[in-house]
Amino acid sequence: MIEFRGVTKQFPDGTLAVKDFSLVLPSRKTTVLVGSSGSGKTTLLRMINRMVDPSSGYIEIDGEDTSHLEPVALRRRIGYVMQNSGLLPHLKVIDNVATVPVLNGVAKKQARADALHLLDTVGLDRTLADRYPSQLSGGQQQRVGVARGLAADPNILLMDEPFGAVDPIVRAELQTELIRLQRELDKTVVFVTHDIDEAFLLGDQVVILEKGGRIAQVGSPAEILAAPANEFVATFIGADKGKRALSIRNTPTGDILVDSEGRPAGVLVGETDVVAR
Amino acid sequence: MTWLLNNGELIGQLVVAHLLISLPPIILSFVISVPIGWVANRYRWSRGTLLTVLGLLYAIPSLPLFIILPLVLGTGLRDSINLVVALTLYGIALMVRTTADGLASVDPGIRQSATAVGFSERSQFFRVDLPLAGPVLLAGIRVVAVSTISLTTVGAVIGVDSLGALFTDGFQRGIAAEILTGIVLTIIIALSVDGLLVLLGRVLMPWVAVNSGRVARRELRRARGPVTA
Ligand SMILES: Nc1ncnc2c1ncn2[C@@H]1O[C@H](COP(=O)(O)OP(=O)(O)OP(=O)(O)O)[C@@H](O)[C@H]1O
Ligand SMILES: [Mg+2]
């Protein structure tokens, strides 16, 4: 469990990135921080592994105040995946994945052997192991990034817009993979995105942020969709328009769902507890 | 030509002497510049002062330096150590700025990612910053190498043996072949050491060619087979 307690971050230049932020992120669940650019998502994420230290307040991991932990050691037991993979360009794929175990003192040979297995885990062909990151596609690089994040078998995985820079088709593929991985591995995942669809797809708990890391709403995707806390959330999730504002229309050949513009969006299938009136 | 044939042994000795004088300063100026470059980069306030002061070393004329150094080091006036130290100072003057620039050129995104996965400051320097600055460092040390090998000849003025002895001796005795031999051999040594450094760079930094797309192009050419046109 990760817990933010009254966390504020003001940067030296005076920018107030996060103001009095409190939140519990349950273990073995995916919490998605979603908000527009500059809302403080990256700052929040980086305070978990102490790349950024809070100006006031504190963060607990499993009840332990992180300010008492040694930052380097803390980071080595927390996986981190970032947008442009952040892979080291001078190391082969296999050595990139083995980075953290090697830093932790695992013998290079062992670490490489384990890294090969991790390539399997994230769905990469082992023949890519000897390539350099620049010889991979963007999607493949992100998979390597995820493999590297998992290499030390951390309980916590921090992901900062990991799929933000790949095309929509690859992004959908990576999202599906992450859902599968999460089912198998059961990590505490903190995922940052500004894509609300991605947030609803991946999140057990979704946190919608306004400027300064102010929480507009926290809840499961269903809760947020069913009852947006305010105008801001409703607009942000697009509840009032487009493909989220669906309604049932009776047609001669059966009932269909239409979006706010009246375009057919789908059908109701199976058991439903909704009664069309 | 006859001069060359009759003096093979002397020439051989001078080539060896030339290398013994010029190689240590090349290596030393690299090794010494790395920590100074690190400081200049790590502590921003020190950067301007350090780089300017050390850069000015290059402005010290060599002859006065050859007089000052024995006084400072307590060496004899004709000791080859003076020359090695002087060349090292000139090497540092060239290399420190390159090192600082090379370290500063490392992509901040990559550095942050290294921090995020748990590199300590020390391991990050040796395993991330230094290797990634490698191409710039190589460019710098190549300049130092060529310049040092050429500057080594001034040792002749203070009586330290090197290929420079062929210039002074050739002038005094009016043997054009001797002077020419000195010049050509100095150039050959400079080019050879430069070539070795390039090779060393390829071996130590195989990723540079890959990332710049050179390898991809080479493989593409190979796949296409010989060009017929
Ligand atoms: N090192 C820093 N120094 C000063 N200000 C900073 C620093 N890092 C972030 N900020 C500021 O803090 C605020 C929050 O930044 P943050 O990077 O956390 O936003 P974000 O939600 O991750 O945005 P994005 O979606 O664009 O990545 C922004 O106003 C940003 O300019
Ligand atoms: Mg961000």
* pLDDT at B228 (0 to 100): 46
Instruction: Return contacts of B123-132, CB within 8 angstroms, 24+ apart.
Output: B123/A103, B125/B38, B128/A88, B129/B103, B130/B34, B130/B103, B131/A90, B131/B205, B132/A89, B132/A90, B132/B106, B132/B107
Q: Which of B103, B87, B100, B106 is nearest to B52 (CA)?
A: B100
> Using alpha carbons only, how large is chain A's radius of gyration in Å?
21
Number of cross-chain residue pairs from A and B with Cβ atoms under 8 Å apart: 63
Domain total in chain B: 1
Q: What is the ipTM of this complex?
A: 0.86
Based on the fold, state whether residues A115 and A65 are members of the same structural domain. Answer: yes
- Given pLDDT bands bounded at 50, 70 and 90, which one contains residue B126? very high
Q: What is the pLDDT of residues A91-119, one digit of tens each?
A: 999 999 999 999 999 999 999 999 999 99
Q: Which of B164, B158, B140 is nearest to B51 (CA)?
A: B140
Q: Examine residue B123 and state whether it is found in any structural domain, yes or no.
A: yes
Q: Which residues pair with A189 in a beta bridge?
A: A30, A157
**Option in B109, B119, B210 nearest A134 (CB):** B210
CATH code of A12's domain: 3.40.50.300
Record: contact B131-A51, CB cut-off 8 A: no
Q: What is the pLDDT of residues B3-31, one digit of tens each?
A: 888 888 999 999 999 999 999 999 999 99
Question: How far away, in angstroms, is A41 Cα from ligand 1 center?
Answer: 8
Q: What is the pLDDT of residues A6-41, one digit of tens each?
A: 999 999 999 999 999 999 999 999 999 999 999 999
- CA-CA-CA-CA dihedral for B39, B44, B48, B52, to nearest 10: 10
* pLDDT at B215 (0 to 100): 66
Record: contact A89-B132, CB cut-off 8 A: yes
| Tokens of residue B94, six digits | 């060239």
Domain total in chain A: 2
Q: Which of A13, A43, A196 to mutate to test the pocket of ligand 1 (most atoms within 8 A of CB)?
A: A43
Shortest Cα distance from A113 to chain B (angstroms)? 20
Record: contact B205-A90, CB cut-off 8 A: yes
- Nearest 5°: the CA angle B218, B220, B221 is 65
**Option in A75, A86, A135 nearest B110 (CB):** A86
Residues of A in contact with B207 (CB under 8 A): 89-91, 132, 134
Pairing label, strands A156-160, A188-193: parallel
Q: What secondary structure does DSSP assign to chain B, as a single string?
A: -HHHHHTHHHHHHHHHHHHHHHHHHHHHHHHHHHHHHHHHHHSHHHHHHHHHHHHHGGGS-HHHHHHHHHHHHT--TT-HHHHHHHHHHHHHHHHHHHHHHHHHTS-HHHHHHHHHHT--HHHHIIIIIHHHHHHHHHHHHHHHHHHHHHHGGGGGGGT--STHHHHHHHHHHT-HHHHHHHHHHHHHHHHHHHHHHHHHHHHH-HHHHHHTTHHHHHHHHHHH-S---
Ligand closest in space to the Cα of A44: 1
- What residues in chain A have their Cβ under 8 A from chain B's Cβ atoms? 46, 49, 51, 72-73, 75-76, 80, 82, 84, 86-91, 99-100, 103, 132, 134-135, 148-149
What gap in Å lies between CA B123 and CA A203, rounded to an integer?
A: 35
A176 Cβ contact list (under 8 Å, min separation 6): none
What gap in Å lies between CA A191 and CA A218, rounded to an integer?
A: 14
Residue of B nearest to A103 (CA): B119
* pLDDT at A242 (0 to 100): 67
What gap in Å lies between CA B80 and CA B76, rounded to an integer?
A: 9
What gap in Å lies between CA B131 and CA B124, rounded to an integer?
A: 10
* pLDDT at B229 (0 to 100): 41
| Tokens of residue B206, six digits | 């195989």
- Given pLDDT bands bounded at 50, 70 and 90, which one contains residue A276? very low
**This model's pTM is above 0.80:** yes
Based on the fold, state whether residues A233 and A265 are members of the same structural domain. Answer: no
Contact B115, A51 (CB under 8 A): yes
Domain span at B173: 2-224
Based on the fold, state whether residues A59 and A191 are members of the same structural domain. Answer: yes
Based on the fold, state whether residues A146 and A261 are members of the same structural domain. Answer: no
Q: Examine residue B96 and state whether it is found in any structural domain, yes or no.
A: yes
Q: What is the pLDDT of residues B139-179, one digit of tens each?
A: 999 999 999 999 999 988 888 899 999 999 999 999 999 99
Based on the fold, state whether residues A191 and A274 are members of the same structural domain. Answer: no
What gap in Å lies between CA B109 and CA B102, rounded to an integer?
A: 16
Q: What is the pLDDT of residues A194-208, one digit of tens each?
A: 999 999 999 999 999
| Tokens of residue A30, six digits | 């995916």
Based on the fold, state whether residues A257 and A232 are members of the same structural domain. Answer: no
Q: How many residues does chain B have?
A: 229
Ligand closest in space to the Cα of A12: 1
CATH code of B116's domain: 1.10.3720.10
Helix (H) or strand (E) holding A121: helix A108-121
Q: Examine residue B229 and state whether it is found in any structural domain, yes or no.
A: no
B113 interfacial to chain A (CB closer than 8 Å): yes
Based on the fold, state whether residues A225 and A252 are members of the same structural domain. Answer: no
Record: contact B117-A99, CB cut-off 8 A: yes
* pLDDT at A274 (0 to 100): 55
Average pLDDT, integer, range B105-112: 94
Ligand closest in space to the Cα of A47: 1
Percent of chain A with pLDDT over 90: 81
Average pLDDT, integer, range B24-41: 96
Based on the fold, state whether residues A233 and A254 are members of the same structural domain. Answer: no
> Which residue type does B213 have?
G
Q: What is the C-alpha end-to-end distance of chain B, expressed in Å?
A: 46
Question: How far away, in angstroms, is A77 Cα from ligand 2 center?
Answer: 22
**Beta strand ranges found along A144-235 (DSSP E):** 156-160, 188-193, 205-210, 214-219
Q: What is the pLDDT of residues B48-75, one digit of tens each?
A: 999 999 988 888 898 888 889 999 999 8
3-state secondary structure of A164: coil
Based on the fold, state whether residues A174 and A61 are members of the same structural domain. Answer: yes
Instruction: Supply φ then ψ for residue B12, to 5 degrees.
Output: -55, -45
Based on the fold, state whether residues A248 and A260 are members of the same structural domain. Answer: yes
For ligand 1, atom 3, name the residue with the nearest CA: A11
Q: Examine residue B142 and state whether it is found in any structural domain, yes or no.
A: yes
Q: What is the pLDDT of residues A198-248, one digit of tens each?
A: 999 999 999 999 999 999 999 999 999 999 999 999 999 887 766 777 888
Helix (H) or strand (E) holding A64: strand A64-65
- Given pLDDT bands bounded at 50, 70 and 90, which one contains residue B110? very high
Q: How many residues does chain A have?
A: 277
Domain span at A260: 241-277
Based on the fold, state whether residues A136 and A246 are members of the same structural domain. Answer: no
Percent of chain B with pLDDT over 70: 93
* pLDDT at A267 (0 to 100): 83
What gap in Å lies between CA A227 and CA A10, rounded to an integer?
A: 32
Q: Examine residue B174 and state whether it is found in any structural domain, yes or no.
A: yes
Based on the fold, state whether residues A264 and A197 are members of the same structural domain. Answer: no
* pLDDT at B211 (0 to 100): 85
Question: How far away, in angstroms, is A120 Cα from ligand 2 center?
Answer: 29
Q: Chain-centre distance of CA B2, in angstroms?
A: 34
Distances (CA, A) of B16 to B2, B21, B23, B69, B83: 22, 9, 11, 24, 15
Average pLDDT, integer, range B188-207: 96
Least confident of A59-68, A265-274, B35-44: A265-274
